[in-house]
Structure 1
């Protein structure tokens, strides 16, 4: 049986879905687990923030290294390494009774992560070039779907069993991801004979590609624009008159509205981008996301707010898949593992910084104005994408790579 990129896409989608689900399972009860199970009574907010953010910081710092190994030894070994390592670490969480040990385990979860960027790089490298944008759009729905389902599963498991059982459930789900990668994922396009690069050289090579650096900043910005609101949504809903008993559930529904919209719309943006260009989709996504955020300033009802968040998500769904598709265009195939490792570092830093900055802004200004700041930030990014002619630069770099490859084939 020959290699099928469609089959590979389905396999990797399922793997990323399970991996994302496993991680997000613990989000609803992390602070409760620290207080009730690990005995944290003082400075619970700080402990919760550190335990949440330290994983992303560790992942951001180590991602370029894993990307370098992926380009040398293949992306599939990185999937297997990450999957089995994370399964073991989630299992260890089940037995932890000390908060300091819990923080150490969370650090190792970040250091040994990398399943998602390896899967994305594998799809980008083993899919026909004309189908890459569509495939990456499909892949973006895997993480979004997992992030929606995970907290629901975590809440149900912890309610009917215990918080510790939810960690055990996470371990089993990640183990399934690892087994899927081991037995079903296929990789054809990589060269093991090439020498492994150093992270410093990778960063230098990335910095010499202005289009790629711009796309990295846009990936971080898009992630930041969602995460900046995470600590503020429950408070904002309380201001709308939602009771404290239902604030967590209501904020979960509102926050997941963006993910649901992404699942629905990302494949459609992928198809449109393949025809009209991903620079166009990126611009539309940023403009729609910016206007959608600003409009949230004027909404005072819970239902209207949830609907508007969903509408904003329909546009936001086009941003990250377009960025990933354009990264593929501006990066040489041999650098893709490292490129998506750097991309993972940018988004993980944004995931860590977003809630921190959002919390600080919410402490000093009305939350309504955070939506305005967020919206203006996205609109400014859209203007820069258009005025700096990012799409033209991406096409120029892609053409240069293509001509270089043609010259190599002619001389071989």
Structure 2
């Protein structure tokens, strides 16, 4: 009863934050729980050679992010003219149906087509961010967006563990069906409890085009600089994805439960991010978002370099946890900077454009990691990632400093 009375006293944006935190948590859970066995599921859909399996698995993984990157600006435009709530309903309902249907496919091309359609229906998280960004007070936006990111990270962290358990208890197909049901629950939850009372649709004709949106920005250089920053952050984080389990196997000398340890090592950064992201968001509100982001870049460089020289799994685990802390200072702070430097009437499009760059980073990062590890060794991937972060830091400083002149 006390909790209900407390919720009744909250402002609308705070209620939305509670509801959307749960929703993005479940969304992160739903997306990440199917990824660990996606290639194994592909293997059940035909008699493939090793090279064919690698090709089809990579294509099935990448196509969703590629299509999301292309289609996001269109959904962003609609969110500014018709509302962000209807966009999260569209995304959650569409993906619930599509992912549920993945349990019924009989060949890899049907799965590829559904993953293609999944990319079209993307945008739940970016529009949830837009709702919070446009309703929370600007002086509290850092904490609010950091809290939302913590929910997404927490779901993404637990997803692989839940997906592995469900696939072991039932089957790959049943896990896709359960994932679809989870996203349908998100749809119902969002429909009933998310409010958007003060939404003002964009009616100006000049804002219907990308050129008009850019002209409405006080500092286009800063905004587009943040897009590039987002892309490189995602590419940096995901460059490790193709080789992390192989690096673990090398450090363990192929002894012990490599699969379990790899899962733990992969989850450790997310755990750290979930724990500290709201705190860094609040810190950014007090001392300045740019300062927190600067600290994050420096920390990431300092943590990625020694990761290339670890000699045992404990050292790797500790450094991955520290990298998770540096991650908590990045994406949420970029979103906060976008919020503080974007007029409310075009926030949906700016966040959707940012999602496009984020999705391109998800595609480019694993390609970089696979290329570097094939050309050199696993350690080189961490060194190249540190270099990528350093380049990102320089570009960020140039864009922010120039924008303030």
TM-score by length of 2: 0.92
Does the Cα contact within 8 Å between 1:59 and 1:345 map onto a contact in 2? Answer: yes
**Native 8 Å contact 1:82 1:115 kept in 2:** yes
Name the CA distance, whole Å, in 2 between partners of 1:328 and 1:126. 11
1:10 aligns with 2:18: yes
Q: Secondary structure at the match of 1:194?
A: coil
> 1 CA distance for matches of 2:256 and 2:112?
29
The answer as to 2:127 corresponding to 1:87 is no
Residue 323 of structure 1 and its aligned partner are, at CA, apart by 0.5
Give the corresponding residue for 1:25.
33
**Hey, what does 2:144 align to over in structure 1?**
135
Question: Aligned ranges for residues 269-308 of structure 1 at < 5 Å?
Answer: 269-308=280-319
**Relative to structure 1, is the Cα distance of residues 124 and 273 closer, same or farther in structure 2, using a 3 angstrom cutoff?**
same
Alpha-carbon distance between aligned partners in 2 of 1:222 and 1:351, rounded to the nearest angstrom: 9
Per-residue deviation, 1:124: 0.2
Hey, what's the Cα distance between the residues in 1 that align with 2:336 and 2:159?
A: 26
Matched residue, 2:245: 234
Q: How far apart, in 1, do the equivalents of 2:256 and 2:103 lie?
A: 28
Q: Is the alpha carbon distance of 1:200 and 1:251 closer, same or farther for their aligned partners in structure 2, counting shifts above 3 Å?
A: same
Per-residue CA deviation, residues 179-229 of structure 1 (Å, 9 max, x unaligned), is 111000011332236157556446755897000011111111111111000
- Mapping of 1:256-267 within 5 angstroms? 256-267=267-278
- Is 2:369 the partner of 1:362? no
Q: CA RMSD in A?
A: 1.9
Contact 1:60 1:349 in 2 (8 A): yes
Cα deviation for residue 245 of structure 1 reads 6.8
Whether the 8 Å CA contact 2:244–2:262 is kept in 1: the answer is yes
In the aligned structure 2, how far is the partner of 1:222 from the partner of 1:144? 15
Q: For residues 181 and 253 of structure 2, what CA distance do their matches in structure 1 show?
A: 36
Matched, 1:62 2:55: no
Structure 1 contact 21–146 (Cα < 8 Å) conserved: yes
Per mean C-alpha deviation after superposition, the further-off stretch among 240-249 and 122-131 is: 240-249
Aligned partners of 2:395, 2:67: CA distance in 1, in Å? 31
Structure 1 Cα separation of the partners of residues 40 and 16 of structure 2: 39
Determine helix, strand or coil for the equivalent of 2:156. Answer: helix
Measured against aligned partners, the alpha-carbon deviations of 1:33-55 in whole angstroms (never above 9, x if no partner) come to 1112x124131000110000000
Show the 5 A alignment for 1:202-213: 205=215, 209-213=220-224
Cα 1:67/1:122, change in 2 over 3 Å = same
Per the alignment, residue 409 of structure 1 pairs with none
Unaligned 5+ segments in structure 1 are 397-412
Structure-2 change in CA distance of 1:148 and 1:76 (3 Å): same
Match of 1:346 among 334, 357, 360: 357
Match of 2:86 among 77, 84, 108: 77
- Do the aligned partners of residues 391 and 319 (structure 1) sit closer, same or farther apart at CA in structure 2, a change above 3 Å counting? farther
How far, CA to CA, are the matches of 2:213 and 2:241 in structure 1? 30
Distance 1:165 1:231, change over 3 A: same
What are the superposed Cα offsets for residues 248-303 of structure 1, whole Å, 9 maximum, x if unpaired?
32222112111111001111101110110000000000110111000112211011
User: CA-to-partner distance for each residue in 1:40-78, whole Å, 9 max, x for gaps?
Assistant: 413100011000000000000000110100000000000
* Count of paired positions: 393
Give the equivalent residue in structure 2 for 1:313: 324
What secondary structure sits across from 1:331 in the alignment? Answer: coil
Q: How many angstroms does 1:137 deviate by?
A: 0.6
| SS of corresponding position for 1:27 | coil
Which ranges of structure 2 fall in alignment gaps of 5 or more residues? 1-7
Structure 1 residues 368 and 127: CA distance shift in structure 2, 3 A: same
Alpha-carbon separation, structure 2, partners of 1:183 and 1:47: 39
Change in Cα spacing, 1:277 to 1:243, as seen in structure 2 (3 Å) is: same
* Counterparts of 1:242 and 1:267, CA distance in 2: 38
Where does residue 181 of structure 1 map in the other structure? 190
